[in-house]
Amino acid sequence: MSNTLQAHDFKLPDMSCGHCVAAITAALGELDPAARLDFKRDSRELQVQSGLSREELAAALAEAGYPPAA
């Protein structure tokens, strides 16, 4: 994990409710407790500011059941 925060934008077609947001927050929080998450539920988008790579974040999202759209 890098010490520098980078912003990563994800389109999450399966994210639709508060439970989804909670599950994603928990999954990413386990990997990077300092990550900043900005959810846009209406457009099913998520911006993550983290020291983790886009690939690490995408893998965690997919494992939690919310694979990012390509």
In the chain, alpha helices (H): 18-31, 54-63
pTM score? 0.91
Please tell me what DSSP assigns to residue 69. P
Taking 80 as the threshold, does the pLDDT of residue 2 lie above it?
no
Q: Mind listing the pLDDT tens digit for each residue in 15-65?
A: 999 999 999 999 999 999 999 999 999 999 999 999 999 999 999 999 999
Fold of 6-63: Alpha-Beta Plaits (3.30.70)
Separation between Cα atoms, residue 12 and residue 59, nearest integer Å: 13
Q: Where are the domains of the chain?
A: 6-63
Separation between Cα atoms, residue 18 and residue 8, nearest integer Å: 21
At residue 70 the predicted structure's pLDDT band, cuts being 50, 70 and 90, is confident
* Helices and strands (H and E) in the chain: how many: 2, 3
